[in-house]
Amino acid sequence: MSQAPRRFLFLQGPISPFLAQVAAGLRARGHGVHRINLCLGDRLFWGPDAVDYRGRFEDWTGFVADFLDRHAITDLVLLGEQRPYHRVAIAVAQARGIAVTVTDFGYLRPDWIVLERDGMGAESRFPRDPDAIRALAARCPPPDLARRFEDDFPQQAVWDVTFHLASLLPWPFRHYRRWVLDHPVPAYLGTALQLLLRKRQTRRAADTLARLRAAGAPLYCFAMQMENDYSVRAYSDFADNDSAIALTVRSFAQHAPATSHLLVKVHPLDPGLKRWGRRVARIAAAAGVEGRVHLLDGALAMTPVLEACRAVVTINSTVGIGAIAAGRTVKALGRALYDIEGLSWRGPLDGVWDAPPPDPDLAADFIRAIAGCLHVRGVYYARPGLDAAVAATVARLDAGTVGEPPGDGVAALGGVTQ
């Protein structure tokens, strides 16, 4: 049921028409809609009805505070709560009691997107208490995890390149600060090379996995993440993948079964700016296990890897949720939504090599609760999934039920003990 008309401010979102179409849907339902562009890429994916912020980052706090007050904003919507501009805007909004909604790719994959209050991962308001999770699951329908929508990676790549290259131009947003670590030009060149090599890399990874499975040795996995990912930078103590891999390999060498092997799975969108084969080989040699650590590069799907492995170590990748759903032991080295007693191994890393799997009933309730409370179905880059995501997001924002079990009132999740 729609509430009284509200006034939404949109900042940066996915590099697609998603937020612009959500805004149009809210406007059609009688709500006020505002947008601040921070860079030329923002302008390309929104349209003319927006305000450009061209000032320095140091002046952003005063600008956004004045904007929120002047327009009596009730809701702030964005992607990437840890981007510098967004961190400031969220703090200013929360101080005024303004509701903050964050979206991003789903914790569940591939055709789910997140809608959460305040933040994701370590900042999520989702409960960490198993009993509270079970109570939430009881108020959610069983999730249909069968794939409904296909996304469009070529379209995503085109829009991504357009956004970032446009935002490199010195005019008219000459003070804009990018949130990504790597300069877009070498990152795109590296990604292009990786795409050319992908078939060969994927075939080699599949052969490695098949050979090790046939040998019958115990297998473990370290799942890498994109180093540009703010979940690594903001929600862990690691500056990069290298340090997390090194820590894991040392523990593997000292505490895993002597006949076991460790698979280091590269993120499928890694731009290849680091030569992971050489780096992982050096780390393994230093730990004395060079013949037992193997790199899996390319586009090899995670499903067969999870099926083959006893346990998965990661910083805080959503791969951990897939592993939990598959009944595999998971160790999160950083702070993760699923780092919960009964779901992940919360003891020392050295104990993960023979740690028990997750509680299957709690795992099922966890998946059910996050599907019902924190997600809508759809994708950002291709129809009809984009249309489905927009419609569901508009409905949730209009009803004020972001983060709630379907059909529940506005305050339900916030009242759960965390």
CA dist., res. 286 & res. 265, Å (int): 19
User: Is 123 within the bounds of a domain?
Assistant: yes
- Tell me which residue range forms the domain holding 223: 201-365
* 101 and 226 fall within a common domain: no
User: What residue type is assigned to position 2 of the chain?
Assistant: S
What is the CATH number for 44?
3.40.50
Q: What is the pLDDT of residues 344-402, one digit of tens each?
A: 999 999 999 999 999 999 999 999 999 999 999 999 999 999 999 999 999 999 999 99
* 11 and 74 fall within a common domain: yes
Q: What is the mean pLDDT of residues 287-295?
A: 97
Q: What is the pLDDT of residues 119-168, one digit of tens each?
A: 999 999 999 999 999 999 999 999 999 999 999 999 999 999 999 999 99
* 215 and 359 fall within a common domain: yes
Q: Return the pLDDT at 230.
A: 85
List the structure tokens of 71.
């327009």
Provide the CB-side half-sphere exposure for 321 (13 A, CA). 20
Cβ contact 349:313 at 8 Å: yes
User: Is 176 within the bounds of a domain?
Assistant: no
Q: Which helix (H) or strand (E) holds 52?
A: strand 51-52
Q: What is the pLDDT of residues 26-67, one digit of tens each?
A: 999 999 999 999 999 999 999 789 999 999 999 999 999 999
CA dist., res. 213 & res. 232, Å (int): 30
Q: What is the dihedral of CA 410, 412, 414, 415, to 10 degrees?
A: 140
In the chain, the number of structural domains is 2
Q: Is the peptide bond before 110 cis (omega within 30 degrees of 0)?
A: yes
Cα angle value 355/358/364 (rounded, 5°): 175
* 63 and 141 fall within a common domain: yes
CA dist., res. 401 & res. 308, Å (int): 39
Cβ contact 319:285 at 8 Å: no
* 361 and 383 fall within a common domain: no
* 245 and 330 fall within a common domain: yes
CA dist., res. 31 & res. 78, Å (int): 17
* 222 and 135 fall within a common domain: no
Q: Dihedrals φ, ψ of 75, to 5°?
A: -140, 135
DSSP designation for 142: P
* 285 and 351 fall within a common domain: yes
Residue 52 pairs with which residues in a beta bridge? Answer: 37
Three-class secondary structure of residue 155 per DSSP:
helix
* 314 and 210 fall within a common domain: yes
User: Is 175 within the bounds of a domain?
Assistant: no
- The predicted model scores a pTM of 0.94
User: Is 350 within the bounds of a domain?
Assistant: yes
Residue linked to tokens 């699951």: 137
Q: Is the pLDDT of residue 229 over 90?
A: no
* 387 and 360 fall within a common domain: no
CA dist., res. 278 & res. 239, Å (int): 19
User: Is 191 within the bounds of a domain?
Assistant: no
List the structure tokens of 65.
């505070």
Cα angle value 220/364/337 (rounded, 5°): 65
For residue 310, give the nearest of 215, 213, 224, 207 by alpha carbon: 213
CA dist., res. 379 & res. 390, Å (int): 9
* 85 and 232 fall within a common domain: no
Residues in the chain: 418
Higher pLDDT, 227 or 107: 107
Cβ contact 8:77 at 8 Å: yes
* 84 and 226 fall within a common domain: no
Cβ contact 83:179 at 8 Å: yes
User: Is 237 within the bounds of a domain?
Assistant: yes
User: Is 193 within the bounds of a domain?
Assistant: no
User: Is 177 within the bounds of a domain?
Assistant: no
